[in-house]
Chains A and B, each alone.
Chain A
Amino acid sequence: MSGLRLENITKSFGAIQVLQPMTLAFKAGQVTAIVGDNGAGKSTLLKVMAGIHKPNAGAIYLDDKLLTNLSAADHRACGVEMVYQDLALAKQQNVVANLFLGREQTRTCFGFLNRTAMAERAKNELNRLGISIADLNTPVGMLSGGQQQAVAIARAALFEPKVLLFDEPTAALAAREVGQVLDLIRQQKEQGRIVILVSHRLNDVFAVADRIVVMKQGRLISDTPTAATSMSKVVENIVG
């Protein structure tokens, strides 16, 4: 069966069970939003899918390949990319270094960087995504919040992933920048990727998501198509 599947995933930190047994499936070309109050376990679930946290029990499959207990790097190699809430950017390094972070192109077995090829590919990828950054040699910390978010998304999209995980991608952005980021998320969906979004901002969720999953205290409360629910119903599920 194609797509991303979670089967009876649980996760505890010490005595605290953050995720109760959870089974979910995600299809390609669909944006699924995971919403819930603080402490609902949304970000933990996302990090389990990204390989940052290992589940205590259960299994994760991507196109029938078992991912459970693989490292974050292995998850990336299998096509699961995550855009972190704090973006996980190296802010003193330039845009190109951040786009290729951990997957730099090298010339020889001695690890000499192929900067020309990386700069060329970075330029093409940013153009393809419609991201405008005047100078790719600029340290990422000097870019605006929206541009930094765009670099983080471009990095996730650079190696044609199958699954894209977004943790609060619009939380710290101005209104205009939010629109740009939502457009980038739609682009990823149109390219047939599995997009999973964790957000507190329900307006953004209703703007891009095809399906909304509500979590509360580590449990799945509801899982409905966006068209079949309303903001008040979702809020009711979150707080009810």
Chain B
Amino acid sequence: MFARLFTQNQNRLYIAQCLLFLAALGAFFSLASPYFLSLGNVNNVLTAGAVIGLMAIGATFVIASGGIDLSSAGVMAFCGTLCAFCLQKGGWSPWLALPFSIGLGGLCGFLTGFLVNITEAPSFIVSLGMMSVARAAAYIVSKGMPIYGLPDNVISAGQGQMLGLQVPVLLLIVGIVLAWILLTQTQFGLHTLILGDNAFAAQAMGVPAGRVRLKTFTLAGIYSGVAGIIFMLRTNSGDPTAGQGYELIAITAVILGGANLFGGRATIIGTVLGVLCLGVLQNGLNLLAVSTYYQTLFVGLVLIAAAFLSRVRSQR
């Protein structure tokens, strides 16, 4: 009976495991620190989680399709820096600078997907190249220095609240809903999972594999672009060094949320829970004044545990 429930509800089981881990972390940190459950701190966790969250949601599509995108943090830094450059140096309207920067994020993703399709090289190699290209572009645009002094109207909009929520959190929620619809309700979402599950079957049955792959990388680029804008708004600057190593945290969150690292299985809800677990872990360790060296160690251990868990799950 249990075995049957388990096999038929794999996604639900992995989400439940993630929820359990999150609850355990929450219980531990709320006992260890009186500030952990305060409204301000919860808001901090959510706002800080918005950048990684959006990158992880984009990565979910790529991982579901059997690929890996290592360029997300580079693209995120490039989009944020470029947007700051356009606003501050170029004097562009935010209505132009924001979509332009996010669009270029999508273009970076499109190029990664296109190169993966035509070279048939592993996506982690191609995206590693794109990571360097995007990061270098961020340095070139900013001449290696952070761009400060964004227009006041942009800062107040980005750091303000709407519907009682911080703008980054609101953007994250919109991103979650759109991604959930795409992955679970559309033919594209199903084709993404099928491509990751059995690429030969997908092609033999007429699934346009190249087009699906292209869309997943483009989507990941767009989500990284939005994450870059949020990072820019939160720090009031376009920083070319932004988010170094974030791509691995985003991938960790996706795997922690129950996705199969080799493709075919992923959920948006799982990814969001994975992001929350990592966010709570880092926030809790900060509150307990744990040294950043140890924080990095803990995140690394979670990554190893997530990779191990993914291996065990894919063997079932």
B-binding residues in A (CB < 8 A): 50, 52, 71-73, 76, 82, 84, 86, 88-93, 97, 101-104, 106, 110-113, 135, 137-139, 142
Contact = CB atoms under 8 A, between A and B. Distances in A.
A106 B187 CA distance: 7
30 contacts: A71-B206, A72-B204, A84-B201, A89-B201, A90-B193, A90-B197, A90-B198, A91-B198, A91-B264, A92-B193, A92-B264, A93-B193, A93-B194, A93-B264, A97-B193, A101-B205, A102-B202, A103-B205, A104-B190, A106-B187, A111-B188, A112-B185, A112-B186, A113-B185, A113-B187, A113-B190, A138-B8, A139-B7, A139-B8, A139-B10
Given A93-B193, A101-B194, A137-B8, A111 B186 contact: yes
Contacts of A73: 205-206
Given A113-B187, A139-B8, 20 more contacts: A50-B204, A52-B204, A72-B203, A72-B206, A88-B200, A89-B201, A90-B193, A90-B197, A91-B197, A91-B264, A92-B260, A93-B190, A101-B205, A102-B206, A103-B206, A106-B187, A113-B185, A113-B186, A138-B7, A138-B8
Interface string B1-29: 00000011010000000000000000000
Nearest to A105: B187
Nearest to B197: A90
B125 interface: no
Contact of A102 (B186, B197, B207, B260): B207
A82 B186 CA distance: 26
A91 B204 CA distance: 15
A84 B190 CA distance: 21
A172 to B, nearest CB: 16
Contacts of B8: 135, 137-139, 142
Contacts of B201: 84, 88-90, 101
Contacts of B185: 112-113
Contacts of A113: 185-187, 190
Nearest to B199: A90
Most B Cβ at <10 Å: residue of A71, A72, A113: A113
Interface in B156-199: 185-188, 190, 193-194, 197-198
Given A101-B194, A142-B7, A90 B202 contact: yes
A92 B206 contact: no
Given A106-B187, A142-B7, A90 B264 contact: yes
A102 B10 contact: no
B135 interface: no
A111 B188 CA distance: 7
A13 B187 CA distance: 35
A90 B185 CA distance: 18
B265 interface: yes
Given A104-B187, A112-B185, A88 B197 contact: no
A179 B193 CA distance: 33
A93 B197 contact: yes
Contacts of A76: 205-206
Nearest to B193: A93
Given A111-B188, A113-B186, A138-B8, A90 B194 contact: yes
A151 to B, nearest CB: 12
